[in-house]
Chain A
Amino acid sequence: MSILAEASNLKKYFEINNGVFRKDSTFIKAVDDISFTVNHRETLGLVGESGSGKSTVARLFLNLIHPTAGEMRLNGIDIVGADSRTMKMLRQQIGIVFQDPSVSMNPRATIEWSLRRPLLTNGKKKVEIDSQIGDILQKVNLGMEVLTRYPHQLSGGQQQRISVARALLLQPQLLVLDEPTSALDISVQAQVLNVLLELQGEFDLAYLFISHDLNVVRYISDRVAIMYLGKLMEVGPVDTVLEHALHPYSRALASGSPPLSPHQRRRNRLLLSNEPTSMIDLPSGCHLHPRCPYKKGICVKVPPELQKVEKGHMAACHRIGKI
């Protein structure tokens, strides 16, 4: 498998000023020195709780915000330092689907307008546009009649499928999906997931699938990366990470997510104490240590590096193999 997208030592710090006249300012390290790759035709699940920085990663990849440090590449082309012409080309290569489809579409424009817009902006011909829109609607299992409707006249699942269609119109290679099913009901979620899988096979797409729902991530991903307070905790093949987690945090996430059947209840659970620490005042050493039942002296002092344990499986923990 070859690498499509790559982030190396990516950092994004947001500055917060304490009042107008005070000189001192603090930083929120939303994304702190993370590196990962997305291969061709692969789904990388990016998992984390609220405030872990996963959506910041999505925004960085789309170049909606600039990283504080680090590099991002798509097909070897630098995203961070791209000039406006390269960026326009890159934007066609990376699509995005947001969480809530009802707020990511113009409520005053018809679906046709919303679908036409990206094609017009990128200078496609009128004949091409019509046939392309027809094709893509068929792919997401919607009829031509939706074109004259407004977003509020569609159901949540239809809206989200329109968002997916719009993101795919320019034939991107990478689709960033930021919690694409969290706002949907389960039966509708299934529709969207199925459409995503079909399209992935058909267009050879790679997905960066951001979610907090481990059952969804396990279903759709090939590999998974687990984030906590701006750092990567564990990266690896999805089944390995969720079933034989090396990191206590991945283990807590996997055992804390609700079971699929009552037969699995009250399993051997790892409950983390307390709640995530504030992003403003991060703990020293390993970010998880105030909540971790396995911590030792070293965890408080030294931040663990993401290290390779097996082929393609990495974790950032001082106590790998001892827990």
Chain B
Amino acid sequence: MTDRTPILSVRNLEIKFKTPAGLVNAVNRVDFDIQTGEIYALVGETGCGKSTTAHAVMRLINSINAPGHQIKGKVGYKNLDLLSLPDEEMCNIRGKNISMIFQNPLDSLNPLYKAGYQIYEAIVLDRIAKVDAWHRVLDLFKDLKIPDPERSISSYPQELSGGMRQRVMIGMMLSRRPKLLIADEPTTALDVTIQAQILNLILALRDSLGMAVWVITHDFGIVAEIADRVGVMYAGVLVEEGDVFEIFDNPIHPYTRMLLESLPQGSKHDKRLCTIPGTLPDPTLDISGCPFQDRCPMNYEKCSRKTPPLTMIRTGHKTACHLATKEV
């Protein structure tokens, strides 16, 4: 599926926000690549910085919505560094090359325009004749298996159900054939049977269009279902990354292990679930050492002294834990 040319490479990404409580370290030294045609899942709990990373890549964090923020590092797309690109050029990247869908489609669609028109609007940006653009909209609606496409095109977003709205969003984002689709919690607002349909759709589209998909989620079920590779984030740091089978079968970082152990499986008669003691570290403090040290059952003296770097343990499996390198 994947050839070894990353379509997106994030290097040393650091994001800080200015808040009344001080400077918040939202994302620290995050490094990862997304390969052409792969589904990469970034997984983590609330506040771990997974969405912030995606917003920074899309350059959606600016001085208006986050005054006083600081972003450092590099985001490589083709041979461009997205973080230093002028605004006008970034506009050509968004939608055309990289597009993004969000959790709640009702918040992302304009309630005053018909669903079809909102997709049409995106397509004509590529200077396509109006008639052809409308044909493309209709084809997209059919591809997305939206029932009664002729009628749905001229429906307002609020007249469509949640699953249909998310399909319209996906359609809008696919209309210009991007190379990378970022899906930020694409099915969290949807029911189980609808979620299954949308995930199937994302898989089918990846296979037919060969685009890369970057899924951001807190749900390990979604990761298990569609991802090729997984990155696990904790407190703004990428703590483990690897092939999806590798992560589920041989997790190395204690955080990943405990998180997988805390998923309810089987029955209450089998076992109690693992819980992670303590709470997230205060993001305004500069932590020396590993961010997970206070909650880790296996921490030792080195953990508070030195920050573990993300290190390759096996082919395609990296983790940021001193124990992993100690064992080898």
Contacts and interface: CB of A to CB of B under 8 A. Distances in A.
A147 interface: no
A256 B193 contact: yes
Contacts of B275: 187, 190-191, 194
Interface centre among B244, B245, B259, B262 (most CB of A within 10 A): B262
A262 B245 contact: yes
A263 interface: yes
B273 A256 contact: no
Contacts of A90: none
B187 to A, nearest CB: 9
A146 interface: no
Interface in A281-319: none
Interface in A214-251: 214-216, 218-220, 238-239
Interface stretch (A32-40, A63-71, A268-276): A268-276
A161 to B, nearest CB: 12
Contacts of A264: 224
B147 A274 contact: yes
A269 B196 contact: yes
Interface string B216-235: 00111111111100000000
Interface string B258-283: 11001111111000111110010000
A16 interface: no
B273 A194 contact: yes
A189 B262 contact: yes
B151 to A, nearest CB: 14
A262 B262 CA distance: 17
A81 interface: no
B219 A260 contact: no
Chain A interface SS verdict (over half): helix
A189 B98 CA distance: 34
Contact of A271 (B200, B222, B272): B200
A215 B244 contact: no
Given A190-B273, A258-B225, A259-B224, A219 B266 contact: yes
A261 B192 contact: no
Interface string B199-241: 1100000000000000000111111111100000000000000
Contact of A185 (B46, B147, B267): B46
A26 interface: no
Interface string B130-142: 0000000000000
Given A190-B273, A219-B264, A185 B163 contact: no
Contact of B191 (A212, A219, A239, A261): A212
A252 interface: yes
Contacts of B196: 255-257, 269, 271
Nearest to A196: B268
A275 B192 CA distance: 11
Given A186-B45, A186-B218, A191-B275, A260 B224 contact: yes
Contacts of B161: 275
